[in-house]
Structure 1
Amino acid sequence: MTVMQEIKKAFVERVDENELMNCMRCGFCLPSCPTYIQSGEQEIHSPRGRIAMMKAVRDGMIEADEEMRNSLDVCLGCRACEPVCPAGVQYGHLLEESRAILQEHTAYSATQKAVRHTVFHELFPKNKQMNRVVNLVGFYQRSGLQKGVRKVGFLKLFPKGMQEMERVLPPVQKEKKRQYEQKVFEAVGNKTATVAFFAGCLMDTMFNETNRATIKLLQMAGCEVHIPSDQGCCGALHGHAGEKDQAIEMAKRNISAFESMEADYIVLNAGGCGAYLAGYDHLLKDRGGWQTRAHYFASRVRDFSTVLIEKGLEDKVNLVYPSTVVTYQDSCHLRNGMNVFHEPRQLLRQVEGVEYREMPDASGCCGSAGIYTIVQPDMSLKIVDDKMEKAITTNPGVIVTANPGCLLQMKVGIERSGLAGKVEAVHLADFLLEALS
């Protein structure tokens, strides 16, 4: 059997034909798709076009050639097509399964294999390794090496996306300061809920201060916050990159780490992680008893903004911020995957001193999408430049978002727009904690 025949067989066995057939080719998805718009409205870079290719491969009408692979690679996976689809097509599931099949049948070079193994098997799944890498970033920032590297122009040897990201990385604390003093944080005032906090990988290392801010806000809302041991990366990066088997193993690890806790909710502050955790039941379907366990796990996943609203944070504390205009950029997966978009806006509107202005097309992707900024830098920068044109119309002092990748991408947009020092990009948890202080 040839490789192409193996791919066709895998599409027949693993890609849901009913889901493919649900696509009516109506085109409602086209105006919501960033890559369709930025590519000059090329059908091949639309959800409808990609679904058509998936079905054609499944039916043996075409082969999975480089054009198709490139189309799937260029897709951000933002899932903006799903809420506007009248047939309710679960495009994200089709995309991830198709990418997994193609990845399994790709002949990588020795270098590519080494890089993928290091990133997907040695770095993100292992907390110790992640901490070591982040420690190196912190040393790079504090030692003066960063200034020297920038001065001599060494960064020009790296891809454009990496150059842009290096400029906006947050200051990294030393590992000792990132460690939690305890694993249980008591509620302030009357206890209204017990929650298990999903710390994440990048969030708990690169954005540890944001995690701490989130925990404090939950405490103020009356939540007793537990941080389960043995949890790890959510697996979203792996799932989006076709590393499905590794994503499944990471999902099992997290389910095992949290299921012993009788918590009301599993709470987190990263939209991308949240949508993936909430989809564990789909990821582990047909996996015996794991699907039942995954369904229970997924049913308890909540974004922290949802819990703050439900527990009435605004009735328990005063939120005050120096007079400024604030706008909000949706995290695609928080909005499209978890259906959370009213809650962050409601919290921002309740902060005294803030004038909230809705950004045009705030639900449109910013171009971050995990490692998309590195592997598809040109498309990523086109999208963020377009996003900043819309953000600027609100004349903001602060752009708030609720996902680490989005936060870094908006910082890149601010730099590229020449607004550094005039406009600030902030995670919602950090903004609310500052208002609380």
Structure 2
Amino acid sequence: MDSMRQTLKLKLDYDQLTNCMRCGFCLPACPTFKETGLEAESPRGRIALMKATVDGVMDPDVPFEEQMSHCLGCRACEPACPADVKYGQLIEQARDAIETHTRQHRGWVRGVRKLVFKGLFPHQNRMSLLGKGLRLYQKSGLQAVARKTGAVGVFSKQLSDMERILPEAGGQGVVQRFGTRVAAKGEKLGTVGMFRGCLMDVMFAETNRKTVEMLSEAGFEIVIPDTQNCCGALHAHSGEIDQARQLAMNNILAFQAAGVDYIVSNAGGCGAILVEYDHLLHDVPDWSEQAVWFAGRVKDVSTLLAENGRKLHFRKEEAGEAPVRITYQDSCHLKNVMKGGGAPRKLLSDLPGVELVEMQDAGSCCGSAGIYNITQPQMANQILDHKMQHANATQASYIVTSNPGCLLQMKLGIEKHADREHVQATHVIDFLYDRMVKR
């Protein structure tokens, strides 16, 4: 325990720990506190646990580790904090220290983590092979057999539920479809480096394709560096900070070589770490200046289209046609980290024949949080149940969001709690693109 305490002392920013005034403004913003009412399940409570551990008041035992893992990392506490405590950085630092000494993971869990974080996500070619394998599974009849025999539920009911709502895997990513450069339509307004993501380019390849085409319509030349890799978000959130830094350095080199004006992401979770590469690498020799260059160019695709792109044209509603009712579920990281919650709403509100109805607590986490809905299914499902109560109350035909994890979670929510024939979840780019009039 003493060795973990020493690691926590080295990794945790003690100034941020002492910045917390214990005012409690973060409590109503925290999803886990709202669900449980327990002080330890709040940002203030977790900061108190971190400080008590570093100060030697308590031991960094298994319950301490478990409490750090209960946090969704949604960072809704940060905009609510009058002292501007960087809670997201603290929870990542704590998890990084825990991973160095963890007692939670069994041998097979450690093996899976090594496979996923080191052997799979950092390698785009392996992610592509994963996509092709998943596509074969979906198209060959294996999926139907697995579902009929119950094989998909062998590991857990949660994984079985998630498998049912997986989208159709793409056979080709954006580079395979477009190459590494796509011209702007009409007058060129700027050059955009597209961050294609790892899962986005496998599970949501059509959304990536539509993103490229919309950016071209809006007047941007698109460069898709083929040497880019995973953003590192899952690594940073799971205590694999060193691996996240290496991925960040590779991405910086890839986009610097492309000479872009903007770096665009269509996944809120990816965008949030991309825009904080300057913090991730601030103490890495020779990288801080390059990281600032990169972070300063990152924009969510909705923000870029709303603020910098040429006005897009959308098909008008037919005479007598009732408006399509939609509601928007915020991506936590887009809203709380990138401060981009307004841009998707503006784009959606401007659509002819569409009525945007705000749901209660639209900015509260849906329970996805990267892989949280897999590692903490009970809390994730509890949060999702309440989210769907608010979504259903809007009577919307579409639940629109800006992040793939949120999209899958809302699909799961519809599967469990809504009329699947009349409600569907969609990415904001898919919803806009399908109504866009191309030149």
TM-score by length of 2: 0.96
Kept in 2, the 8 Å contact 1:320–1:436? The answer is no
- Give 1:70 deviation, angstroms: 0.9
Identify the residue that residue 19 of structure 2 maps to in structure 1: 22
Which of 41, 46, 52 is the matching residue for 1:45?
A: 41
Identify the residue that residue 408 of structure 1 maps to in structure 2: 408
Task: Give distance in 2, aligned partners of 1:340 and 1:367.
Answer: 20
Question: Structure 1 stretches of 5 or more lacking a match?
Answer: none
Cα separation, partners in 2 of 1:13 and 1:147, compared to 1, 3 Å = same
Q: Secondary structure at the match of 2:400?
A: strand
Identify the residue that residue 84 of structure 1 maps to in structure 2: 80
Identify the residue that residue 166 of structure 1 maps to in structure 2: 163
Kept in 2, the 8 Å contact 1:319–1:350? The answer is no
Identify the residue that residue 237 of structure 1 maps to in structure 2: 234
Which of 79, 97, 100 is the matching residue for 1:101?
A: 97
Q: Secondary structure at the match of 1:196?
A: strand
Task: Give distance in 2, aligned partners of 1:96 and 1:174.
Answer: 34
Identify the residue that residue 57 of structure 1 maps to in structure 2: 53
Aligned residues: 432
Task: Give distance in 2, aligned partners of 1:149 and 1:320.
Answer: 44
Identify the residue that residue 157 of structure 1 maps to in structure 2: 154
Kept in 2, the 8 Å contact 1:178–1:205? The answer is no
- Give 1:284 deviation, angstroms: 0.8
Identify the residue that residue 225 of structure 1 maps to in structure 2: 222
Kept in 1, the 8 Å contact 2:175–2:226? The answer is no
Task: Give distance in 2, aligned partners of 1:169 and 1:281.
Answer: 34
Cα separation, partners in 2 of 1:8 and 1:179, compared to 1, 3 Å = same
Kept in 2, the 8 Å contact 1:199–1:268? The answer is yes
- Give 1:390 deviation, angstroms: 0.4
Kept in 1, the 8 Å contact 2:360–2:390? The answer is yes
Question: Structure 2 stretches of 5 or more lacking a match?
Answer: none
Task: Give distance in 1, aligned partners of 2:316 and 2:342.
Answer: 20
Kept in 2, the 8 Å contact 1:222–1:311? The answer is no
Cα separation, partners in 2 of 1:66 and 1:176, compared to 1, 3 Å = closer
- Give 1:47 deviation, angstroms: 0.5
Q: Which amino acid aligns with 1:86?
A: P
Q: Percent identity at matched positions?
A: 48
Identify the residue that residue 299 of structure 2 maps to in structure 1: 302
Identify the residue that residue 366 of structure 1 maps to in structure 2: 366
Q: Secondary structure at the match of 2:348?
A: helix
Which of 108, 133, 137 is the matching residue for 2:134?
A: 137
Kept in 1, the 8 Å contact 2:175–2:224? The answer is no
Q: Which amino acid aligns with 2:56?
A: G
Task: After superposition, give the CA deviation of every residue in 1:223-257 in whole Å (9 maximum; x if it has no partner).
Answer: 11110121010000011000111111111110111
Identify the residue that residue 324 of structure 1 maps to in structure 2: 324
- Give 1:312 deviation, angstroms: 4.4
Q: Secondary structure at the match of 2:353?
A: strand
Task: After superposition, give the CA deviation of every residue in 1:45-93 in whole Å (9 maximum; x if it has no partner).
Answer: 1100000000011111111111111111111000000000111111000
Q: Which amino acid aligns with 2:332?
A: C
Cα separation, partners in 2 of 1:177 and 1:106, compared to 1, 3 Å = closer
Identify the residue that residue 211 of structure 1 maps to in structure 2: 208
- Give 1:116 deviation, angstroms: 1.1
Task: Give distance in 2, aligned partners of 1:395 and 1:234.
Answer: 36
TM-score by length of 1: 0.96
Kept in 1, the 8 Å contact 2:131–2:170? The answer is no
Task: Give distance in 1, aligned partners of 2:174 and 2:288.
Answer: 37
1:289 matches 2:286:
yes
- RMSD of Structure 2 on Structure 1 (CA): 1.4
Kept in 1, the 8 Å contact 2:172–2:205? The answer is no
